[in-house]
C-alpha cells in the first residue's frame, strides 16, 4: 500500500509539474504493468476487463511474451493492466493515450469501459483521446487485451510473413497532455527551389475541426549541424482548409540534407488562442530532393547510385520486437558500419529508428507489411492495407530519411486482382503525400515486351521505379551465367524505369555453405550489378541473422531464424561484414607507394560501382594496427566525384607495413585496407 501511495504521489507531481509549466508534455507509463497469458482465450468471454486482473506478474513495456521460455510459442491472447492517477486539472486539458505499437490487435478498456481498438495492424502507432473518459483526481485502470494469432483479418495476412510473430505491447506507451484546442499532428513539407540554396516550407497542423482565434508562433533552428542558429521566428495567422491550419514560409541559404551531411531543421510551433499558449508541437525535417530522370537517380541535382542493407527488427532473442531505444540505435550503427545509405523496411518501425536514419544519412523505402504469395486479394485485405498506409504516412510524414512509401512485397504481381490492390495502394500513397515516391517490391518481374500479345505488366511497373528481389543461384533455380541476361531482359521490358535490387543474399540453413559461400555470393552478385549501368542501387539482405516464425529452420522456439546476415542475431560480425563494408564504400583505397624522405602516397578513387556520389570531408589515417587508427594523425581527403582519383601524401609508418583507414564525416569507418607485406 505504501509503495502504491508513493507511486501515485510521484505521478501526481510529474503530471502537475508538466501540466502547469508546459503546453504539450509526454508522460511515459512504461513500468509496472500487470500481465497474464490467456492460454485458452477465456478472457473475452469472462470479461476480464470489468475488474482488476488476477494471477498476474509485473512487466515493463515494451514487452513481448514470445521471448519468454514458457510462452515463446504462444500465439493468441495476452492481457495487460496499468493503474494511473489522473490529476484533477487534467479535466481542462487534452489527454491522449499513445501506443507505439501493439502486435497485432489491441482492445483497450478504461475502468471497465471499452475506449478503443486497433485491429490487424501490429506496427503503426495509434492514439486514443481520453477527454471526458477519465476519473479526474482519482486512479484509473487501463486494460489492454492483445492478440497475435495467425488471423485472416490482419496485414500481414495469416502466416504470410518472414519475421517473428511476437505478440504484446511491443513499443512504449505514454500520455500526451496539452491545452485545448490541441492539434492531432504537425506535417512539415520542405521544398527546394531551383537554385538549390533556398527553399519553401509548408507547415500544417491537423485539428478535429476548424478553430477560431488561433495563431502560430514558429521558430526554426538548425539541427544536426555544426551550428544551431535560429533562422526564423515569427507569429503568423494560419490559413484554414477544413480541419487543417497551415501556412508557407520562404527560407534563404539553407543547408541540404545529404548522405554524409544530413542537415536538419527543427521546427517548433506554439499554438496560441487569444494570445495564450494552448499547445506546442515540434518536428525535425531536412531539405533534400530525390528525382528519377530517364532511368537515373538524382539527389539534390547530383546523379547518384545507392547501396545499403536491410535490418529486420526483432532479431535479437533477448529483446524480440520489444527492443529498447539503445538496441535500435545499436542496430542502426551496424547499418552504418557497412556503409548503408539505402534501406527498406518490410514493416513499420518506431520513431527511434527513423530518427537515427534522419541523422545518419540513410534513405528508406517504408512499406506496409503486405507480404507473401498466399495473401488473398479480397476487400478485407484491401481495407486494412489502405488503413495502414494512411496511418503510416500520417505518423511518419516528417522524417527526411523516408523517401518512398512501399505497397508490399512478393504479392503475385501478375495476378490481375492483386495488381489492382497494389495499384490502389500506390495511388493512395501518392494522394496522401505528393512529396515522396512510391513503389512495390516484386519477385515476378520477368522478361516480355509491351507489344507482345497478351502481355500483362508486372505490378512493380505501377511504381515510380522498379524494385526486384534477386536470388539467382539460391531461391531461384537459375544458373549464375543467366542472371545477367535476366537483368537485361527486365531493363528491356521497362526501359524508362529506374531499376533497383531490393534484396539479394544467401539464406541458411535453406542453402548450405556458411559464410564462405555468403562471401562468394555477395562478391559475384555485386560485381554483376555494378556491370549494369541501368542498376541504380541494391540492398543487401540481411544485416543480421533474423528470427522468424517460419518452419524449416534449425529451431522451434524463439531462436528459429534465417541465417541471412553479415552479423549474427546478437550483432557480432562475420567475415562477410568487412567485405560488404568495402564493397559498399563510396571511396576505394587502391595503392600505397613510397614518395621518398619518409613520405608515402595513398591512391584513392571515388567509387564507380555501388554506391556512387561525390564525397568530401572524409579523413584518412595510417596506423600499425586496425584498431588504433584513431590515435594517429588524420589526413584530409579532397573532394572526389565518382571515378576521380587523388593521391594523399602521408608520413611513412612502420616501413609501409600499415593499415589505411578512411573515416566518414559522420565518424564511421568507411574503408580499411592492410598494406602489410606477407612472407609466403
Q: For 204-236, how does the pLDDT look when each residue is reduced to its tens digit (9 = 90+)?
A: 999 999 988 889 999 999 999 999 999 999 999
Q: What is the mean pLDDT of the segment spanning 457-466?
A: 96
What integer pLDDT is reported at residue 13 of this predicted model?
39
Pairing of strands 94-99, 138-147: unpaired
Give the residue from 539, 583, 581 showing the smallest Cα distance to 564: 539
Residue 551's pLDDT is 74
Note the pLDDT of residue 680: 58
Q: Where does CATH 3.20.20.80 sit in the chain?
A: 293-581
The C-alpha cell that represents 358 in the structure block: 534522419
Give the three cell numbers for residue 523.
Answer: 562478391
- At 568-608, the pLDDT tens digits run 999 999 999 999 999 999 999 999 999 888 999 999 999 99
Give 293-581's CATH code, choosing from 3.20.20.80, 3.40.47.10, 3.40.50.1110, 3.40.50.620. 3.20.20.80
The answer to whether the beta carbons of residues 472 and 487 sit under 8 Å apart is: no
Average pLDDT over the chain, rounded to whole?
94
pLDDT attached to residue 458: 93
DSSP letters spanning 320-370: TT---HHHHHHHHHHHHHTT--EEEESS---HHHHHHHHHHT-EEEEE---
Going by pLDDT thresholds of 50, 70 and 90, the confidence category of residue 538 is very high
Contact 400, 360 (CB under 8 A): no
CATH number of 2-177: 2.60.120.260
Residue 50, CB-side half-sphere exposure with 13 Å CA sphere: 5
> What is the predicted pLDDT for the residue at 143?
98
Judge whether 372 and 160 are in contact, CB under 8 Å: yes
Q: Angle CA(374)–CA(380)–CA(386) in degrees, nearest 5?
A: 100
Peptide bond into 621 cis (omega under 30): no
- Candidates 503, 644, 524, 525; CA nearest to 586 is 644
Longest dimension (CA), the chain: 86
CA atoms within 13 A on the CB side of 68: 15
Cell of 512: 548450405
Please determine, looking at this structure, whether the domain spanning 587-674 carries the CATH number 3.40.1000: no
* pLDDT at residue 449 greater than cutoff 90: no
Q: What is the pLDDT, as a whole number, of residue 447?
A: 56
pTM of the model: 0.95
- CATH 2.60.120.260 maps onto the chain at 2-177
Strand segments (E) across 355-472 = 363-367, 402-409, 437-442, 466-469
Is the CB of residue 146 less than 8 Å from the CB of residue 102?
Answer: yes
**In this structure, what C-alpha cell is assigned to residue 636?**
584530409
The CATH number of the domain covering residues in 185-285: 2.60.40.10
Of residues 555 and 601, more confidence is placed in 601
Digit-coded pLDDT (tens) for 627-653: 999 999 999 999 999 999 999 999 999
C-alpha cell of residue 295: 532511368
User: To the nearest whole percent, how much of the chain has pLDDT over 90?
Assistant: 89
What is the four-CA torsion angle of 390, 392, 394, 400, rounded to 10 degrees?
-130
Asked whether 160 and 134 are in contact (CB, 8 A), the reply is no
pLDDT band at 315 (very low <50, low <70, confident <90, very high): very high
What is the rounded distance in angstroms from the CA atom of residue 44 to the CA atom of residue 40? Answer: 10
CB 62 within 8 A of CB 102: no
Residue 453 has pLDDT above 80, yes or no: no
Average pLDDT of the segment spanning 155-159: 97
Grade residue 22 by pLDDT with cuts at 50, 70 and 90: low
Angle at 54 (CA atoms; ends 51, 59), nearest 5 degrees: 110
Distance between CA atoms of 448 and 450, rounded to whole angstroms?
7
pLDDT at 19 exceeding the cut of 70: no
Cell 540534407 appears where? 257
Sign of CA dihedral 522, 548, 437, 191: negative
pLDDT digits (tens, 9 = 90+) for 86-140: 999 999 999 999 999 999 999 999 999 999 999 999 999 999 999 999 999 999 9
Task: Measure Cα distances from 277 to 49, 272, 280, 290 in Å.
Answer: 38, 4, 8, 37
Length of the chain (residues): 680
CB-CB contact of 89 with 164 (8 Å): no
Q: Is the pLDDT of residue 678 over 80?
A: no
Predicted confidence band of residue 679 (pLDDT cuts 50, 70, 90): low
Looking at the chain, which residues constitute the CATH 2.60.40.10 domain(s)? Answer: 185-285
- Average the pLDDT over 368-389 and give the result: 97
| Cell numbers placing 497 | 524505369
**Sheet containing 214-223, strands listed edge to edge, beginning at the edge strand earlier in sequence:** 230-236, 214-223, 264-273, 276-285
Contact 242, 205 (CB under 8 A): no
Q: What is the pLDDT of residues 48-97, one digit of tens each?
A: 999 999 999 999 999 999 999 999 999 999 999 999 999 999 999 999 99
How far apart CA 112 and CA 319 sit, in angstroms, is 31
The predicted pLDDT at position 3 comes to 47
Helix or strand or coil: residue 223?
A: strand
C-alpha closest to that of 138 among 111, 175, 108:
111
pLDDT above 70 for 12? no
Q: Give residue 446's pLDDT.
A: 76
Amino acid at each position: 500500500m505504501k509503495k502504491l501511495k508513493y507511486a501515485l504521489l510521484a505521478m501526481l507531481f510529474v503530471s502537475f509539474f508538466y501540466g502547469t509549466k508546459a503546453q504539450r508534455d509526454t508522460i511515459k507509463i512504461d513500468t509496472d504493468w500487470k500481465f497474464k497469458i490467456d492460454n485458452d482465450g477465456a478472457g473475452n468471454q469472462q470479461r476480464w476487463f470489468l475488474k482488476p486482473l488476477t494471477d498476474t506478474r509485473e512487466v515493463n513495456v515494451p514487452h513481448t511474451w514470445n521471448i519468454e521460455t514458457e510462452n515463446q510459442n504462444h500465439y493468441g491472447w495476452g492481457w495487460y493492466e496499468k493503474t494511473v492517477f489522473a490529476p484533477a486539472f487534467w479535466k481542462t486539458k487534452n489527454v491522449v493515450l499513445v501506443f507505439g505499437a501493439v502486435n497485432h490487435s489491441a482492445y483497450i478498456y478504461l475502468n471497465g469501459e471499452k475506449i478503443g481498438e486497433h485491429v490487424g495492424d501490429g506496427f503503426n502507432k495509434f492514439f486514443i483521446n481520453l477527454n471526458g473518459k477519465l476519473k479526474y483526481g482519482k486512479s484509473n485502470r487501463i486494460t489492454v487485451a492483445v492478440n497475435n494469432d495467425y488471423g485472416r483479418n490482419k496485414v500481414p495476412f495469416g502466416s504470410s510473413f518472414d519475421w517473428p510473430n511476437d505478440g504484446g505491447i511491443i513499443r512504449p506507451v505514454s500520455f500526451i497532455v496539452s491545452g485545448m484546442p490541441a492539434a492531432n499532428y504537425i506535417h512539415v513539407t520542405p521544398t527546394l527551389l531551383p537554385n538549390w540554396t533556398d527553399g519553401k516550407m509548408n507547415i500544417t497542423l491537423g485539428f478535429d475541426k476548424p478553430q477560431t482565434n488561433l495563431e502560430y508562433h514558429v521558430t526554426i533552428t538548425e539541427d544536426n549541424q555544426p551550428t544551431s542558429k535560429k533562422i526564423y521566428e515569427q507569429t503568423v495567422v494560419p490559413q484554414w482548409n477544413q480541419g487543417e491550419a497551415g501556412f508557407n514560409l520562404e527560407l534563404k541559404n539553407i543547408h541540404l540534407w545529404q548522405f554524409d551531411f544530413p542537415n536538419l531543421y527543427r521546427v517548433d510551433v506554439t499554438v496560441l488562442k487569444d494570445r495564450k499558449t494552448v499547445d506546442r508541437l515540434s518536428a525535425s525535417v531536412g531539405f533534400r530532393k530525390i528525382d528519377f530522370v530517364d532511368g537515373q537517380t538524382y539527389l539534390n541535382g547530383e546523379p547518384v547510385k545507392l547501396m545499403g542493407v536491410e535490418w529486420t527488427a526483432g532479431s535479437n532473442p533477448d529483446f524480440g520486437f520489444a527492443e529498447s531505444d539503445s538496441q535500435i540505435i545499436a542496430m542502426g550503427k551496424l547499418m552504418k558500419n557497412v556503409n548503408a545509405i539505402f534501406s527498406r523496411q518490410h514493416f513499420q518501425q518506431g520513431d527511434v529508428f527513423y530518427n537515427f536514419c534522419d541523422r545518419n544519412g540513410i534513405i528508406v523505402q517504408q512499406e506496409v507489411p503486405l507480404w507473401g504469395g498466399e495473401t488473398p486479394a479480397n476487400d478485407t485485405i484491401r481495407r486494412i492495407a489502405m488503413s495502414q498506409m494512411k496511418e503510416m504516412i500520417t505518423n511518419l510524414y516528417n522524417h527526411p530519411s523516408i523517401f518512398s512509401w512501399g505497397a508490399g512485397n512478393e504479392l503475385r504481381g501478375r495476378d490481375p486482382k492483386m495488381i489492382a490492390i497494389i495499384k490502389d495502394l500506390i495511388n493512395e500513397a501518392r494522394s496522401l503525400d505528393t512529396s515522396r515516391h512510391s513503389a512495390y517490391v516484386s519477385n515476378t518481374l520477368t522478361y516480355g515486351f509491351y507489344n507482345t500479345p497478351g502481355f500483362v505488366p508486372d505490378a512493380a511497373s505501377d511504381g515510380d521505379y522498379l524494385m526486384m528481389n534477386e536470388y539467382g543461384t539460391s531461391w531461384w533455380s537459375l544458373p549464375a551465367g543467366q542472371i545477367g541476361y535476366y537483368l537485361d531482359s527486365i531493363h528491356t521490358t521497362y526501359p524508362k524505369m529506374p531499376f533497383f535490387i531490393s534484396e539479394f543474399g544467401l539464406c541458411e540453413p535453406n542453402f548450405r555453405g556458411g559464410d564462405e559461400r555468403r562471401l562468394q555470393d555477395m562478391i559475384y552478385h555485386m560485381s554483376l550489378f555494378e556491370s549494369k549501368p541501368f542498376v541504380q542501387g541494391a540492398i543487401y539482405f540481411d544485416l543480421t541473422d533474423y528470427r522468424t516464425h517460419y518452419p524449416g529452420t534449425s529451431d522451434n522456439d524463439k531462436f528459429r531464424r534465417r541465417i541471412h546476415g553479415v552479423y549474427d542475431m546478437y550483432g557480432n560480425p562475420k567475415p562477410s561484414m568487412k567485405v560488404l563494408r568495402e564493397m559498399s564504400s563510396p571511396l576505394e583505397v587502391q595503392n600505397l607507394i613510397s614518395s621518398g624522405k619518409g613520405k608515402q602516397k595513398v591512391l584513392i578513387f571515388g567509387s564507380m560501382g555501388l554506391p556512387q556520389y561525390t564525397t568530401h570531408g572524409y579523413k584518412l589515417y595510417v596506423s600499425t594496427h586496425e584498431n588504433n587508427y584513431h590515435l594517429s594523425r588524420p589526413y584530409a581527403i579532397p573532394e572526389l566525384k565518382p571515378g576521380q582519383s587523388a593521391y594523399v601524401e602521408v608520413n611513412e609508418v612502420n616501413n609501409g607495413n600499415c593499415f589505411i583507414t578512411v573515416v566518414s564525416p559522420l565518424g564511421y569507418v568507411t574503408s580499411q585496407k592492410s598494406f602489410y607485406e606477407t612472407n609466403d
